[in-house]
A and B are shown apart, each in its own frame.
Chain A
Amino acid sequence: MNEIPLTHILFVSTALFFIGMYGLFTRRNIITMLMSIELMLNSVNINFVAFNKYLFPDKLDGLFFSLFIITIAAAEAAVAIAIIINLYRSHQSIDVDDATEMKF
């Protein structure tokens, strides 16, 4: 069975990253933006795992990094959702364009 080359996986992760970025910039709903950020984080995770597997198969550093990122992402999601709930309470909306008071 032929191994899938590294470049294929990198294509997937890059695509995933820019899909996430696109979502982050275009969506006005904060929850969707949060989901986009998760996509970007996961594309980075894929990169870590793939590089670890293909370049340094006898080491585990990349795997640990992705584990850490998953943990942090979970915590970040919790914080983000708390922020969203507070934002909703104060603005009755979770649209970022409705919360633009912090400016010059």
Chain B
Amino acid sequence: MSNYLYILWIPLLPLATFVVLGLFGRKYFAKTAGIIGTASLLTSTLLSFVAAKQYFFVDGKVNGVYQKIIALKYTWLQFSPNVSIDMGIIVDPISVMMLIVVTSVSLMVHLFSLGYMKGEERFATYYAFLSLFTFSMLGLILSVNIFQVYMFWELVGVSSFLLIGYYFNKPSAVAASKKAFIVTRFADLGFLIGILIIGFYGGTLDIGLLIEKFTSVQSPEFISITTASFLGASMLTWGLVLIFMGGAGKSAMFPLHIWLPDAMEGPTPVSALIHAATMVVAGVYLVARLFPLFSMDEAALTIVTYVGAFSALLAAVIACTQTDIKRVLAYSTMSQIGYMMFALGVSKNGGESGLGFMASMFHLFTHAFFKSLLFLGAGSVIHMVHSNEMKDMGGLRKLMPITHAAFLIACLAIAGIPPFAGFFSKEEILTAAFHENKLIYGVALFTAALTSFYMFRLYFTIFWSKEAAAKTHHHDAHNDHGEGTWTMKLPLLILAACAVGVGFIPFSQFITSDGAALETHVDMVFSIAPVALSIIAILLSASFYKSHNSKSDKAVAFFGGFYKAAYKKFYVDELYLFITKKIVFPFIGQPIAWADRNIVDGFMLLLANTTAKISTAIKGFQSGKVQNYALYFFGGVLALSVLFIYIWK
């Protein structure tokens, strides 16, 4: 067993950057904050690659199976001999893979932000928050203890809140950050209760021990948690579903997805990092981390499957109607995470039927690259056009060739066109779904076609249609900076290379649910249906949006009310507003507020008022006259003497 302790530096470097930039950034590093943040993250990224090389190619494998290695474990709070909160580092295939994803995407975003955020007033603060986020996310993926997951989970929530609300003088950004925080906090309430249930029955919070206890059917813990039931479901189901609720909140699964589109109020590189590539897949990662537990409970996995599939479809439909490019990307993120979720849901633990697990992780990996590429490309476009709305764009392919090429590659990747990265991972997911559940397979196939449609709608609207309008519109003030500095182009190029290349990684050799390599083969016949559907969808969107014509309006008219409902995001926000404003506030909030003001406060006020009244009544004794005090004193002595001499005896 070799030493992986140096992995500790990977999260600690961003933390140090956060502390330094957070405390002294605005005063001393106002100009150099970006360089400092990027340099420290570059070190982390290199360390991650070293760790990955060591783990995957040198000594992670024992007898053909990748081992879970606990590189560091420090007990932070000991509740009882078995129950403790530990801080530690776990090294296993998915955590190492996530290390690569988080550090490299974060590095790209740091680099891109050098140009994108240049001249911002709170430049150093921005980099401090980015570092805080990177630290928390790395801590989350390295967790050995489910409570450690929870703590870092909240930390990523906070850093996401801070970054969404970065432009805090914009009311919409403030509202969005609050919304994101409250919705994910609400979901985390479920997560916490789930942790407590699982921890209570398992008698430990250590992930490794929990998995060990709950995966053997004869263990007393497993028997007690499956026999105890509440409202018709076993406690294991409850615990896992509640944990999944936390994951669904972070990963924007229906019905807790409402915060993600609004979170696009944050700076675009932040959306690329947090709301596309890393934080939102934390829910997927959580389910994958606890997958041995989930695989013991059919009901919980079914919920994961259907929530994932429904979110994928719903988001894809909404994405076809949105006009803000970042919102389209947000819904597409939600849709792709839905893919990862149901891929986990249809999976089994280990062996051939563990294909879904591997597919999900593979898609997480490829998605991180092409989706952050899409967001950074969108960032370049927004930087150029100074608007998020599609109607302000068009014909940009000549003005920004690099962005255009990168965006096209990313769109092809997400549409699942071979040989781009998305093709391989999506193919695995579809295969897994096909073998387990035909309904899910149908939904996934239809969603894949929709994905191609809306992504190319975005692509054609930004880079093609209305040629002349674009030119006259952009030849005025801000044409001078073109595509931005090299720091903005370089990440696009690197990520584009990844979006092309990472699909060829033989992923099933490295990351499977049980650590053993899995033989997969891309079945050419099987691939025909999804690829053909995607190409048809692309051609359809080309005929709609490549040049300005009325076909799209006709389609809108054809769908009528359905289009309007999708444009309004199926009124989920309105439903939430109705529930909170019309039901929760008047019937729960106001009575509680009344009780708080009148009963809780009233009791305290009574105490205070009584004290005040008594004080007023007796304050005359404190007259300031020394002789009065002497009199009281002698009176007291006299009384005590009488007491002790005659009464007490």
Contact = CB atoms under 8 A, between A and B. Distances in A.
A104 B619 contact: yes
Contacts of A100: 623-625
Contact of A96 (B625, B631, B634): B625
Interface string A52-67: 0000000000000000
B624 A25 contact: no
Contact of A101 (B620, B624, B634): B624
Interface string B130-150: 000000000000000000000
Contact of A103 (B622, B631, B634): B622
A21 B634 contact: yes
B627 A25 contact: yes
B608 interface: no
A46 interface: no
A97 interface: yes
B631 A25 contact: yes
Contacts of B626: 33, 96, 99
B102 to A, nearest CB: 65
Contacts of A24: 627, 630
B630 A25 contact: yes
Interface string B606-649: 00000000000001101111110011001000000000000000
A102 interface: yes
Contacts of B630: 24-25
A33 B626 CA distance: 11
Interface residues of B, number: 11
A101 B623 CA distance: 9
Contacts, number: 25
A103 B624 CA distance: 4
A99 B631 CA distance: 17
B627 A96 contact: yes
A47 to B, nearest CB: 15
A43 B154 CA distance: 75
Nearest to A37: B630
Contacts of A101: 624
A104 B622 contact: yes
Contacts of B622: 103-104
A100 B307 CA distance: 78
A33 B620 CA distance: 23
A101 B620 CA distance: 14
Interface string A69-104: 000000000000000000000000000110111111
A16 to B, nearest CB: 16
Contacts of B631: 25
A96 B622 CA distance: 15
A24 B626 CA distance: 10
Contacts of B627: 24-25, 33, 96
A96 B624 CA distance: 9
Nearest to B631: A25
Nearest to B630: A24
A96 B620 CA distance: 18
A24 to B, nearest CB: 6
A100 B631 CA distance: 16
Contacts of B634: 21
A25 B635 CA distance: 12
Interface in A23-55: 24-25, 33
A10 to B, nearest CB: 16
A103 B630 CA distance: 15
A97 B625 contact: yes
Contacts of B624: 99-103
Contacts of A33: 626-627
A25 B620 CA distance: 19
Interface in B86-128: none
**Most chain A Cβ neighbours within 10 Å, of B620, B626, B630:** B626
Nearest to A21: B634
Nearest to A27: B627
A28 to B, nearest CB: 8
A42 B380 CA distance: 97
A21 B627 CA distance: 11
Contacts of A21: 634
A24 B623 CA distance: 17
A104 B622 CA distance: 6
Contacts of B625: 96-97, 100
Contacts of A99: 624, 626
A95 to B, nearest CB: 11
Contacts of A97: 625
**Most chain B Cβ neighbours within 10 Å, of A97, A99, A103:** A103
Nearest to A25: B627
Contacts of A103: 622-624
Interface in B347-376: none
Nearest to A28: B627
**Most chain A Cβ neighbours within 10 Å, of B620, B623, B624, B634:** B624
A25 B239 CA distance: 78
Contacts of A96: 625-627
Nearest 7 pairs of A and B residues by beta carbon: A103-B624, A100-B624, A104-B619, A104-B622, A96-B626, A102-B624, A103-B622
20 contacts: A24-B627, A24-B630, A25-B627, A25-B630, A25-B631, A33-B627, A96-B625, A96-B626, A97-B625, A99-B624, A99-B626, A100-B623, A100-B624, A100-B625, A101-B624, A103-B622, A103-B623, A104-B619, A104-B620, A104-B622
Given A25-B631, A104-B622, 17 more contacts: A24-B627, A24-B630, A25-B627, A25-B630, A33-B627, A96-B625, A96-B626, A96-B627, A97-B625, A99-B624, A100-B623, A100-B624, A102-B624, A103-B622, A103-B623, A103-B624, A104-B620
Interface of B: 619-620, 622-627, 630-631, 634
